[in-house]
């Protein structure tokens, strides 16, 4: 069993919420909005909203069409559209995802966000930062950092309960 599988996701979320609350106060991020990347990022955003008592709806991004490897990974049979039920213009956004790896998912999410408008700022919040970046993207707040050997990936399973699973990368 990998060390990540032994981590308690609820404890990580509580730690993230505490650091995020401090970031919101220290950076004076007035009226922030949570935006989760489907699916794990949405699950985390929902829990963070409850812990932080942030008002308003959560935005949900499905970045499938924005990925630069779309032609290689293909289309998933159940692609639901994104939903940003608030104006992103001049708003502080808290972009939430489960696993940060190459940075390509985050780049795609930011491209989609900018199609909706121009936020004042975007803070990246992730449960697990697993290294291996291909793009210059870093999390502002994260639950845990680790490095996985080649051939392994980490996945958040849920929605209730949330838990981490390590598995072999599909070829």
Does the reported pTM lie above 0.85?
A: yes
Work out the pLDDT band at 64, boundaries 50, 70, 90.
confident
Provide the token pair at 148: 């996985």
Is residue 10 within 8 Å of residue 162, measured between CB atoms? yes
Number of folded domains in the chain?
1
Range of the domain at 114: 3-71+80-168
**CATH code of 126's domain:** 3.40.50.2020
Q: What digits encode the pLDDT tens for the residues 91-112?
A: 999 999 999 999 999 999 999 9
């Amino acid at each position: 069993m990998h060390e990540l599988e032994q981590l308690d996701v609820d404890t990580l979320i509580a730690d993230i919420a505490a650091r995020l609350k401090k970031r919101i106060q220290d950076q004076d991020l007035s009226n922030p909005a949570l935006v989760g990347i489907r699916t794990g990022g949405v699950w985390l955003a929902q829990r963070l909203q409850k812990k932080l008592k942030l008002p308003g709806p959560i935005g949900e991004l499905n970045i499938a069409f924005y990925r630069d490897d779309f032609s290689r990974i293909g289309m998933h049979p159940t692609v639901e559209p994104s939903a940003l039920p608030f104006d992103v213009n001049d708003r502080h956004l808290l972009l939430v995802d489960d696993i940060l790896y190459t940075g390509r998912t985050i780049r795609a999410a930011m491209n989609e966000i900018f199609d909706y408008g121009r936020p004042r700022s975007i803070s990246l919040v992730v449960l697990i930062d697993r290294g291996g970046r291909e793009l210059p993207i870093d999390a502002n707040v994260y639950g845990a950092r680790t490095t996985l050997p080649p051939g392994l990936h980490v996945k958040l399973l849920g929605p209730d309960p949330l838990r981490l699973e390590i598995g072999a990368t599909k070829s």
